[in-house]
Structure 1
């Protein structure tokens, strides 16, 4: 399965989520390649930091920030079980290419008024891609949720009957994710039994069930 984390809005946690999903699947014994399709190269930076820290490679990270992604990603997918795409913000050509490459698009969203982050342009691009890929599935993912905050609950309620639907798993606003990013690690390497590791494991299971 090829899963792309996409949102035209920056700062919603695409890189963190992509890296952790790839790591969670690797822990399950799956062969995974992560494609860094963001010209900023944050996933590649994380991978390089991991090397500097002397940590073992968990999965391959490949930089493909170009609009031929829809042709190259399926080629990479032939040699692994899953491909995860860390998508670009606000680069229309790259975004369209990632949409055409993916089996599932996950749109990370942070708790905020609905019209602040559920971009009409992003949803339009999903529908445009479905003209060529009618089987393309999409899901919202609520990320960086504060514990029991009213706005997180209201955002989830707003999306309850929305299309694309909302994944059941929610990802919290946790220091563990920032600590992991700075050291080239993943949260389960910092605290295997912690809440961040548990919610990432739940996300990997839920997304895995959407495999074609």
Structure 2
């Protein structure tokens, strides 16, 4: 399965979610590759910051031909997660076209909801060439007691894409994990780690598979 995190708005949390979902898959004893298709190289920088070997390999692939290059690279892996660039570009289009599932991180703000329209249009464009591509929203950095945090699902309803029931809350431990580790390593029993594991389960359910 190839999962791409895509948002044409910067700062949506694509890199953090890509890294953490890849680790959740790796913890299930599956061979997973994280592809850094973002020229900013956030995922690659995360891997380089570690003091130990990462629990999964990270490769940079900021090319316009990702959908053509990936099949050969994935022969040794069970699954792949792609971190995409935050703008309309040939690289973003190629990464989306390579995916079986596109997850769109959206923070609970009116601007993020409006900005999601560009990403949705890019996915629709890719589906004309590859109709089997699935897509869904992931609410990221939810603040539980805020009005927009409670109303985000209805705010996204106009896009006719599912919103995963598992939301990722705004937590300090995610910021701490940017230094080369994940919340499953820093705080494996935390609510943050549980949210990531639940996100992985939600992805499995959406794709109609029982396990990785």
| TM-score, normalisation: structure 2 | 0.93
Q: Secondary structure at the match of 1:56?
A: coil
Partner of 1:59: 56
1:143–1:64 CA distance, 2 compared to 1 (3 A): same
1:124 aligned partner: 121
User: What is the match of residue 75 of structure 1?
Assistant: 72
Which runs of no fewer than 5 residues in structure 1 stay unpaired? none
Residue 15 and residue 42 in structure 1: after superposition, are their counterparts in 2 closer, same or farther (change >3 A)?
A: same
When the two structures are aligned, how many residues end up with a matched partner?
Answer: 208
Contact map agreement 1:73 1:83 (CA 8 A) in 2:
no
Q: What residue number does 1:187 align with?
A: 183
Q: SS of 1:89's equivalent?
A: coil
Q: How many Å separate the matches in 2 of 1:30 and 1:118?
A: 34
The answer (yes or no) to whether the contact 1:43–1:61 under 8 Å persists in 2 is yes
Secondary structure at the residue paired with 1:139? strand
CA distance in 2, matches of 1:115, 1:43: 22
Higher mean C-alpha deviation, range 98-107 or range 66-75: 66-75
Determine the C-alpha separation between the residues in 1 that align with 2:127 and 2:107: 25
Post-superposition offset of 1:150: 1.3
How far off is 1:19 after superposition?
Answer: 0.1
1:90 deviates by: 0.7
| CA displacement at 1:116 relative to structure 2 | 4.7
Q: Which residue of 1 aligns with 2:136?
A: 139
Runs of 5+ unmatched residues, structure 2: none
In the alignment, structure 1 residue 210 sits paired with structure 2 residue 206: yes
SS of the residue 1:209 aligns to: helix
Question: Could you tell me the TM-score, scaled by structure 1's length?
Answer: 0.93
Judged with a 3 Å threshold, the aligned counterparts in structure 2 of structure 1 residues 180 and 115 are, in CA distance, closer, same or farther, namely closer
1:33 corresponds in structure 2 to 33
> In structure 1, what is the Cα distance between the partners aligned to 2:153 and 2:113?
14
Distance 1:28 1:103 in 2: 20
CA contact (8 A) 1:114 1:155 kept: no
- What is the match of residue 16 of structure 1? 16
Residue number in structure 1 paired with 2:102? 105
Query: Which secondary structure does the structure 1 equivalent of 2:44 belong to?
Result: helix
- After the TM superposition, which residues 84-95 of structure 1 pair with which residues of structure 2 at under 5 Å, given as runs? 84-95=81-92
SS at match of 1:124: helix
2:171 paired residue number: 174
